[in-house]
Structures are given as C-alpha cells and as structure tokens.
Amino acid sequence: MSDADAVPTRQRLLSAGAEVFAEKGYEGGSTRDICARADTSINMVHHYFGSKAGLLEAIVEQYGEHVLAVPMQLLAVPAKSRDDFVSRVEMLFVTTLEACLEYRNLLKVVMGEDASPQALVDYTETFVQFLDRGKHDGLVRESLDTTMITGAILDRIINQVLYIPGLSEAHGIDVTDPDYRERWCSSNVDFFVHGMLPAVHPGT
C-alpha cells in the first residue's frame, strides 16, 4: 500500500487544496493541480465536494475544527479567579498560535480568500463574552473595550503566523522555535493583561 492509499482520498484532496489555494489563491489554483498533488483522478473533486467552490468551503470549515476548537473550550467557562483568568489567556495564546502554525495553509486560505467561517465568528463572540464576564466578576477593567481587545489579540496571533517568511528575513526570527514561541506568548500575555505602565498605588 502506498502512502497515498493509506490516507483517505477526501482528506488528501482537502490537504492538497489547502496547499494549492495557499500558494496560488482560489482563482489561480486548478482542480487538475489539486488532484495531481492528492494523487487521485480529476473527477474526485466533483465526487466529494461537487465543485472547486465546494472544496474551498470544506477547507474553510476545517479551519474551525482544527484551529479554533481547543481555544473555544478554554473560553467556554468563566474564570474562577485572577490567576485562573491570566492562565486562560496565556493558554489561549499558546493553543491558538500552535494551531495556526500547524495548520498555516488553512489560515492562509481563510485570510487570503477573505472568508469568515462561522467558527471564527463564534470564537470572537465567545472571547468577548469571556472578557465581559471577567468585567462582571471584577477581573477585567470596566472601561476595557472587549471587542477591540479581542480583535487585537486575534490580529496579533494571526499576523505572527502569516508573516513568518518576512519576520525571518527581516529580523532573523524563527517562529517555529519553541523557546521563541514561549517568550512571545509570555510577552504578549504580559502586555495585554498588565499593560506597559507600572501599577499606580494610592498615595504615590
């Protein structure tokens, strides 16, 4: 049995489609190229997905399944304490960054095609609700714009992954290095949770 035979045809098409669309965009990527990379006949895209557009839709759906599932679980339950809140935000950065790195082609397709999968909408809304509940429980500043902060955090993570080649060339940064990722996540949590200004104590 060949390596191609060991992986179901539908999954090979999803992986190959993500690669081709990430490299060439939806318009530039042909079903012939996708099927060649998937090591299958050209009519298999129609068989499994109906059309090239159907394949793109299935790839976008995978973004939610693979990239956002674990972070969504972290946000589903309100934080129990300040330490728990900080820990959740830290794990959010770590798990979302790791997933985006692992499924970078999916991320590139979703961002490149300006798609807005329902899972991403749900992720954003759940994150906002998590922060708003933090306000209610006295863990988050009342004046914080939770919608804007949610967008800023997502932009920060996504751009870090999308611009890997530029970061490497311009700054010598290796985003795949575990030590760098740990420092990056810790620094971002420190910035978003504690800010840059020192704490102001009464009477000082």
pLDDT of residue 202: 63
Residues in the chain, overall count:
204
Q: Which of the following CATH numbers is that of domain 1-50: 3.40.50.300, 3.30.70.20, 3.40.950.10, 1.10.10.60?
A: 1.10.10.60
Q: How do the pLDDT tens digits run along the chain, 204 residues long? A: 344 555 799 999 999 999 999 999 889 999 999 999 999 998 999 999 999 999 999 988 888 888 888 888 999 999 999 999 999 999 999 999 999 998 898 888 888 887 778 888 888 999 999 999 999 999 999 999 999 999 999 999 999 998 888 888 888 888 889 999 999 999 999 999 988 878 766 655
Segments making up each domain of the chain, as ranges? 1-50, 60-194
Residue-wise DSSP of 8-53: -HHHHHHHHHHHHHHHHHHHH--HHHHHHHHTS-TTHHHHHHSSHH
Q: What residue type is assigned to position 100 of the chain?
A: C
Long-range contacts of range 187-194, CB-CB < 8 Å, 24 or more positions apart? 188/93, 188/153, 188/156, 189/86, 189/89, 189/90, 189/93, 192/89, 192/149, 192/152, 192/153, 193/86, 193/89
Q: Which of the following CATH numbers is that of domain 60-194: 1.10.3720.10, 1.10.600.10, 3.40.640.10, 1.10.357.10?
A: 1.10.357.10
Please state, in angstroms and as integers, the Cα–Cα distance from residue 176 to each residue in 92, 104, 118, 165, 181, following that order: 18, 12, 28, 11, 7
Domains 1-50 and 60-194 share a fold: no
pLDDT of residue 48: 94
- How far apart are the C-alpha atoms of 20 and 14, rounded to whole Å? 10
